[in-house]
Structure 1
Amino acid sequence: MKLKQLAYAISLIGLATASAAYAADEVKTERIQVTGSNIKRVAAEGATQVVTLNREQIERSGATSAGEVLRLLPAINGDDNSTYSLRPTDSGYQAANARGSFSATSDILVLVDGRRMPVYPEQGQVVDLNSVPMSAIERVEYLNSGASSIYGSDAVMGVINIITRKSLEGVQLRARLGETSRNDGARLLTSIAAGYGNLETQGWNLMVSGEYEKVDNIFMRDRNNTRTADLRHLGGPDRRLASSPDGNLQRANGTWQPLSTCTGNTPAGGVPLPSVGRGLFCPFDPNSTTQIQPEVESVGLMANLMVKFGENLNLRTNMLYKHKESGNFLNPNPLTLAFNANQNGNPYNERVTVAIRPLGPGLMRNKDIEVDLTRLSATLSGSIKDFEWEVNAASGKSEYAESGSGYYNAAKLAAAQANGTLNPFNGTFTAANVMALGILEAPKRTSETQLDSIDFIARGDLFELPAGPVGFAGGLGYFEETYKDTPDPLQVAGALFQDPQLATVNKSRDNVYYFGEVNVPVIKGLDLGLAIRQDKYTEFKSPVTSTVSLRYQPVTQFLLRASYGEGFKAPTLRQLYATQTSGFPSAKDFTGCAINGQTPAQCVTRQYQARSTSNASLKPEQSESKTAGFVFAPIKNLTFSVDYTQIDKTDQIETLVLQDVLSNPTIPVAGYGTAANLVTRLPNGLIDETVAIILPRANLAKTSTKLLDFNIQGRTQFGATRISVDNALNYIISAKKSPLPGVALAEYVGLSGFQRWRNVASVKAENGPWSGSVSVRSIAGFVDTLSPSAAASTPHSPSSFTTADLLFGYGGFMKNSKVELGVRNVFDRAPTWAAASNSSSNVDLAHDVTGRYYYLSLQLGF
């Protein structure tokens, strides 16, 4: 960057979102910095809502990982700690997204100490919350509105800022051990933190913490609502599969029949499976061996050094490290094989399709995963007169290594089928023969992401107005991100049978940005905030994003707040630069059918050769955020707030599907012109099937989400007993999406993944060394479909789901020490079956099927 540009960016005073302070009890003179602004202020209640989870709340939740802390935030739409079976590569991983968001890559920016983290390498798109050691967390702050003018890309619908611990004197030991009431799913978390040196008197403090976590698996078969894919005992369909060890075949007329006599508890002649097709089957139950909670083992470390060099110069260095190992597996590959008449002794005088799945320990598809995250950070800060400044440099890397087994080599399988070595008609298609032939592969994959950054911030008061000082913050920064994804050569070539072809990525990019904020007290009680920011990536320059906010506090007990902001979200390196993958999707070519004289009703679905690809011409997604709300404290120690948020997005990145390309040839596609240019047609107008159709990512979708957040906090005392009550409700008014330009917005609220409300309530009582609390979590019911057009015809609608947790504690046996006994899901509630978002375990991803869970926690301080 040129010196002239640097000087301009440093001198820029921009415009801001945030406010001066509100405190119901008393005015504090100490200024603090809250997520959503770089300006330090007197109190936390500002022009936008920030929810803070302190260390005591996190400990009380019984969480053993940072991802589990999401259970305390009803506005966050995180998958619960089970249901990993569909994506074994995500074992032990937890992302965050805002409720009402349609983004596949998360509309929430995750920060640690206000700075970005390297993303999870397997997909290279979002931060894994579980990469931060629990023992390192001091508190979590959640800003539930857009903040691109402060933080840049990704802060479209909110920001999660994980604040790490800064100093400690002495030693703290913590241990938590728990197990379900069914004696499985055990969880162990132990940690030690030690610190030496007093920052105020000695000028330095060194703190080191370490933790160990172990999570045991839970099998589907050990929970009533997941023990079988046959859901008729729950009022649902029979979702067992045709690809069974016994085998089934489909005749030319479309009907199914067992390949031979069925074994096990199934009638010899088979049973009907309406969800598969007409006829009888020897069924396979995929839930018999699959996990709903994977095994996870991890080690986390943090080292933090704070040094004061006189009155006006401070240094903080911080190191985070997390090593995580997880193991998950799926059932053996389902095999769907076609045989011509008389091929391999086919006794039927016609072409048939055989569905079979040899079953054995060596045929299970295993995924053993290791992830290492390391992040080093150094911050030098100081002050000159009334102005503060800080410089931060950070480097983070996340490395992913995956070892698989039990995957069929497609070419070797085809050869064994062709020469008759594996013959379903004579009983030789068995697990033993598959193992003996050596046609199974053990693919290996490595990925890594890296983020290196440096930034400068200056803040202070510019001058005094009658209503107070005009505060400002301004700065600039630079970061470089790198993503390398190297699947096994067999995965890149698509050589594993019925396993997706994987793309490679090896790319870096950088970004230079500058920003500024001002907070202007217009009159007493009325603050105006303004902020601007611009980012210049390697591929594009972002629009100048801005935010304007108002905070009005006419009396101590009442606060009005509102804001308007613009945001953007940069395309990921995978979306921009991943290599092509090939496939044969199905669609109807209405244009070709018309040329052949066929009506749309006569047009049949066909397979076409296609290549899915990234798109280096992608634009950033754009957003607008509007918020309005109030905070009211009618009496001392009682506060409630209501906040409205509306976020509209355009140019959301989606992967084009074949039917949309063929049915909407005029769709604009950056880098290609229109969708018509993705298809090669012959002079007569028919598709040239010798040339693959291109299916790139494109800026297509438009979304609009409207939300309400209600919060109540109350404190009171009866004699020596202190009572605190907290309730947080997130309510989705509307969540609409248009998947393509020109298509009307469709409403998704009330469908799977868009439950209308989620509520978290807690009551805590303390009396001397004793404490107790009850927490209740509820989520609304929904229609079991992902499609608005199918909602009216979907008969299944799971009801609302509520669980209650209890916690009892005693801290009178030793100073700074405490023992706690907790029960999660006291009444052992199990959610109703649902298949739309998770057809593997038939439990909606927002629900937990763990059941009742007991845990014991011990904290010792010296």
Structure 2
Amino acid sequence: MNYKRKALAVALSLVGSVGYAQLAHADDSGDNSLQRVDVIGSHIKRLKSEKATEVTTIKVSDLAKQGLNTVEQVVNALASNQSNIGANSSVGLSTGGAAFANLRGLGQQYTLVLLDGRRVPYHPFDGTAADLNAIPLSAIERVDVLPDGAAAIYGSDAIGGVINFITKKTSEGLSIGGDFMTPQRSGGNEKNLNGSYGYGNLSKDGFNVYATASYHKTDPIMASQRDFASAITPAMKASSNSYPANYTIDGGNSLIGPSGYPNCGAATAKGGTCKMYPGTMVGIQPETEQWSGLAKGTLRIGDNHELSVTYNITRNKNTTISAPAPTGLEVFLPSGTQGIVTADGSASISPFLRTMPLGNRVTEAVNVQQKLQLNLEGQLGGWDYRTGLGYSQSYATEELVSGYTGDKEVANAYLNNQISLVSGLATDPNVWSQIGVKGHLDDGKYTVASADFSLSKEVLQLPAGPLAVAFGGETRHDTLEHNFNYPISKDAIGPGMNQSLNTKGNRSVSALFAEADVPIVKHLDGKVAVRYDHYNDVGNSISPQVSLRYELSPQVLLRTSASTGFRAPSLYDMYQPNQSQLTGNFYADPFSCPSLSSSCPSLQRYLKVGGNTKLQPEKSSSLSVGIVIEPIKSITASADLWWVMVKHQISTMSEATLFDGNHNSLLFYDPNNGGNLTAISTTQNMGNSSSAGLDVDFRWTLPKTSVGNFTVELAGTYLAKNMYQIEENGAYYSNLGQYVATQNEPTFRWQHNLTLNWNRGAWSGLLSQNYKSGYTDQNSGAAFAATNHMVKPYSTWNMSGSYEVNKQLTLTAGVRNLFDQLPPWSNQQYLFQGNYDARFADQVGRAYFMKFNYKM
């Protein structure tokens, strides 16, 4: 078979499959029988290589030169990504330290993450997406990104796009590498060590086995180590939970300060009570530690078959530090406690204590992800085939390390007169050693067992070229379970799990797909694909896709693609544990006080959330139209307009919506429960969302000079529209370029990554910029009611230089955040970190790094 024709057939086979061509490069044997090409394709280098949909390919070695050391950092550097949940989000929240991709700002649940073309199991604590921190960067060779609807190709839920992390096919010899990064300010050091060893040449010996292992650690950063994070500003939330404690009686909204006010000790006197600023006590960056390993063996069988088995495991530990525990919404004392009698003798007394003597709350979350994959591929009877069996598991746990107490323990301390309601201080110095709570909090597991196959062949010669077809199938079984350790989870103050219930669920999914690449006329190619998915719990879907590629001239290429998608509610959407959670922001009681009144005390409240087994699937439509130009050989540029509509979007009401008294949110209230939500706000179908934007890409290879060779690359995404409903048939809202309470986050109108590369002989250098546009701030609370504060655009530069000492040793040194750009000031009140938004900015500041890699 002619190689070009065969390559096309193989590509079609693998595009139609959930699998990905791991054999991305021909081996060095000169035998074309097992040559493979990339399924998604490469970054734009030559016009003729362009597909009908845009694709970005990134080499991990290039990203390492920017000082990026984790998969989360790599994904956040993508211009098309707008991640809003990462390691920093775990401070004060039970995310397990997970980080998620979010292409085009559509939502993490719409980005499909693959490892060597197959699904990565979801994180069990938020089972709507794969945890990026469970993917070992040291084992990855490159990253392919398809920011377009790919439901007909990869799965009906690949609505927002696909990110495929690709490991090496083979490796020979010994390789050792490492790096160290130290910030200009204290805290936040990073270190990494990795090594690999491989034996056997696939073309000469007929086999190859290799293994790789790595260790990575990031030190924590406390708010006290960064002036911008510890400054007392109007955006820093003041808490009524203090030490010494305030208290309320009769369930009223008026706080009573301890005797001796305004002498509040370590707290601050404010408004007749004692106040504290918990945001100044937190760790703004958690400590993370990752161990990973991957082993792979490949055996060539005859001339046309390859059998491979791969096992990988990653253990990621995330340790967060939060302010001492608040008790104001969990401890209720009977009337008459320590001589304080309520008006009617029946209402309770609530002490607003912050357990400062116990120290900060320290939580440790560990996620262990592992996968075993067996593949067989080659040619049989004139057909290219690929098949595989896999089993993967993500197991996460949370441990309370120190600083925690329980509502029963605190209540007993007051009832036993060990803590005074009047002074707010401990009368018994031994009380704190008696009321500490620590130990296992909860754990969860997500598993995926899968099998897939694909076949492809050129079946007909048309006037404009060969017609190639592919078809195949996939089946998988997913399970999710989340268990809580009673009585710790019911008693501990802070995690918000005192009413959480164990949960589990499972589903089976099977799919059939077909695809054809049709050369219509000269220079015009078409592709049609269709996928049928069957879910045993929510029904069936058919997802078609049509795309066209027209080479208008050797310098101009036009392309377009249209598709539909179907996203079944995830197991987490359906079986999320019913639990009571503490809000991130402070809210007034909507029953007893108008929420906009500045005289109403705003406190952290409790709300209840849970899954919903009656959810309906989401349906989507997407369209893209693009152009690629190559005016001269050294310049390639592209622009792609895209639009995505999702119907019956699955989500939950944000806390701000639940506490605003509108959108039927008062149905979740009990007016006798102190402003807390008592009914469960379940996951629900909340209406539609509509997004549109423009992706641009530019590459210029400058003429060679005596001082070296230069290339310039720019990748950017402009969002023109991002609208959504928070209830079926309701009003549309938008968080485009603005922070809105209904989403607790903004989306950025413009993001780009700009890179200047240089090389001369053994020397090379890189200068890169990551840019995010500004947005209108949250402006929450009376202090900001009359303002329209803008969060400034945020830009960081990275610079490095590398030297190849010889064929074995390469050294790299550089600076991350070269100009020491600190996070722009923000009013956001959602995160535990104050004065800035830790989801979108770098709290490390300028940092210096060194890397080495040695190959034998």
> Which letter does structure 1 place at the counterpart of 2:851?
S
- Counterpart for residue 809 of structure 1: 802
Q: 2:102 aligns with which of 82, 97, 106?
A: 97
Q: Is the 8 A contact 1:319 1:374 kept in 2?
A: yes
- Counterpart for residue 303 of structure 1: 295
Following superposition of structure 1 onto structure 2, how do residues 117-266 of structure 1 map, counting pairs within 5 Å?
Answer: 117-228=120-231, 230-231=232-233, 236-249=234-247, 254=254, 257=257, 259-261=259-261
CA distance in 2, matches of 1:412, 1:354: 13
Q: Please give the secondary structure, in 2, of the residue aligned with 1:135.
A: helix
Q: CA deviation at 1:149?
A: 1.0
Q: Please give the secondary structure, in 1, of the residue aligned with 2:109.
A: coil
Q: Please give the secondary structure, in 1, of the residue aligned with 2:814.
A: strand
CA distance in 2, matches of 1:152, 1:430: 63
Deviations 1:192-238 (A, max 9, x none): 1121111111111112111111211111111121023x12xxxx445
- Counterpart for residue 762 of structure 1: 755
2:458 aligned with 1:461:
yes
Deviations 1:232-265 (A, max 9, x none): xxxx445332322233356868366454356699
Q: Is the 8 A contact 1:180 1:854 kept in 2?
A: yes
CA distance in 1, matches of 2:784, 2:730: 18
CA distance in 1, matches of 2:429, 2:379: 73
> Which letter does structure 1 place at the counterpart of 2:452?
D
- Counterpart for residue 22 of structure 1: none
Relative to 1, partners in 2 of residues 1:75 and 1:210: Cα closer, same or farther, differing over 3 Å?
same
- Counterpart for residue 66 of structure 1: 71
Q: Please give the secondary structure, in 2, of the residue aligned with 1:46.
A: coil
CA distance in 2, matches of 1:524, 1:437: 82
Deviations 1:455-476 (A, max 9, x none): 0111221211111111222110
Following superposition of structure 1 onto structure 2, how do residues 699-738 of structure 1 map, counting pairs within 5 Å?
Answer: 699-720=685-706, 721-738=708-725
Q: Please give the secondary structure, in 2, of the residue aligned with 1:414.
A: helix
2:91 aligned with 1:86:
yes
Deviations 1:557-579 (A, max 9, x none): 21111111111222121221345
2:61 aligned with 1:56:
yes
Q: 1:795 aligns with which of 788, 794, 805?
A: 788
Q: Is the 8 A contact 2:16 2:454 kept in 1?
A: no
- Counterpart for residue 9 of structure 1: none
CA distance in 2, matches of 1:581, 1:183: 38
Q: CA deviation at 1:445?
A: 1.6
**190-199 vs 158-167, which moves further:** 190-199
2:853 aligned with 1:859:
yes
CA distance in 2, matches of 1:380, 1:791: 62
Q: Please give the secondary structure, in 1, of the residue aligned with 2:791.
A: coil
Relative to 1, partners in 2 of residues 1:189 and 1:495: Cα closer, same or farther, differing over 3 Å?
closer
Q: CA deviation at 1:419?
A: 4.1
> Which letter does structure 2 place at the counterpart of 1:804?
W
Q: 2:525 aligns with which of 516, 527, 530?
A: 527
- Counterpart for residue 399 of structure 1: 395
Relative to 1, partners in 2 of residues 1:514 and 1:417: Cα closer, same or farther, differing over 3 Å?
same
Q: 1:847 aligns with which of 841, 844, 850?
A: 841
CA distance in 2, matches of 1:428, 1:120: 42
Q: CA deviation at 1:182?
A: 1.6
Q: Is the 8 A contact 1:63 1:69 kept in 2?
A: yes
Following superposition of structure 1 onto structure 2, how do residues 287-436 of structure 1 map, counting pairs within 5 Å?
Answer: 287-336=279-328, 343-346=337-340, 354-360=351-357, 362-384=358-380, 386-404=382-400, 405-429=402-426, 432-436=429-433
Tell me how large the CA RMSD over aligned residues is.
4.0
Q: CA deviation at 1:384?
A: 2.8
Q: CA deviation at 1:122?
A: 2.3
Q: Is the 8 A contact 2:261 2:272 kept in 1?
A: no
CA distance in 2, matches of 1:317, 1:93: 27
Deviations 1:434-493 (A, max 9, x none): 424335353432211111100011122121111111122211011111112111123664
Q: Is the 8 A contact 1:17 1:517 kept in 2?
A: no
CA distance in 2, matches of 1:541, 1:43: 41
Q: CA deviation at 1:643?
A: 0.8
> Which letter does structure 2 place at the counterpart of 1:181?
Q
Q: Is the 8 A contact 2:715 2:754 kept in 1?
A: yes
TM-score scaled by length of structure 2: 0.85
CA distance in 1, matches of 2:461, 2:784: 58
2:547 aligned with 1:549:
yes
2:442 aligned with 1:445:
yes
**446-455 vs 291-300, which moves further:** 291-300
Relative to 1, partners in 2 of residues 1:719 and 1:695: Cα closer, same or farther, differing over 3 Å?
closer
Q: CA deviation at 1:512?
A: 0.9
Q: Is the 8 A contact 1:775 1:805 kept in 2?
A: yes
Q: Is the 8 A contact 1:74 1:758 kept in 2?
A: yes
**49-58 vs 509-518, which moves further:** 49-58
Structure 1: which 5+ runs fail to align?
1-11, 19-28, 273-278, 591-600, 668-674, 681-685
CA distance in 2, matches of 1:224, 1:376: 47
Q: CA deviation at 1:319?
A: 1.2
**253-262 vs 393-402, which moves further:** 253-262
Q: CA deviation at 1:834?
A: 1.6
Relative to 1, partners in 2 of residues 1:524 and 1:513: Cα closer, same or farther, differing over 3 Å?
same
Deviations 1:515-569 (A, max 9, x none): 1111111011111111111111120223201111111112222111111111122
Relative to 1, partners in 2 of residues 1:385 and 1:661: Cα closer, same or farther, differing over 3 Å?
farther
CA distance in 1, matches of 2:253, 2:195: 67
- Counterpart for residue 771 of structure 1: 764
**829-838 vs 250-259, which moves further:** 250-259
Q: CA deviation at 1:150?
A: 1.1
Q: Please give the secondary structure, in 1, of the residue aligned with 2:414.
A: helix
Relative to 1, partners in 2 of residues 1:535 and 1:332: Cα closer, same or farther, differing over 3 Å?
same
TM-score scaled by length of structure 1: 0.84
Deviations 1:282-311 (A, max 9, x none): 332324432122222221111111211111
Q: CA deviation at 1:792?
A: 9.3
CA distance in 1, matches of 2:660, 2:736: 27
CA distance in 2, matches of 1:701, 1:786: 26
CA distance in 1, matches of 2:817, 2:577: 45
**622-631 vs 841-850, which moves further:** 841-850
Aligned residues: 797
Q: CA deviation at 1:416?
A: 3.0
> Which letter does structure 2 place at the counterpart of 1:75?
S
Relative to 1, partners in 2 of residues 1:208 and 1:400: Cα closer, same or farther, differing over 3 Å?
same
Deviations 1:412-433 (A, max 9, x none): 3223333433223145437944
Relative to 1, partners in 2 of residues 1:13 and 1:542: Cα closer, same or farther, differing over 3 Å?
farther
- Counterpart for residue 28 of structure 2: none
Q: Is the 8 A contact 1:209 1:301 kept in 2?
A: yes
Q: 1:825 aligns with which of 798, 810, 817?
A: 817
Relative to 1, partners in 2 of residues 1:327 and 1:100: Cα closer, same or farther, differing over 3 Å?
closer
Q: 2:112 aligns with which of 106, 109, 112?
A: 109
Q: Please give the secondary structure, in 2, of the residue aligned with 1:725.
A: strand
Q: 2:50 aligns with which of 30, 40, 45?
A: 45
CA distance in 2, matches of 1:419, 1:265: 23
Q: Is the 8 A contact 2:264 2:274 kept in 1?
A: no
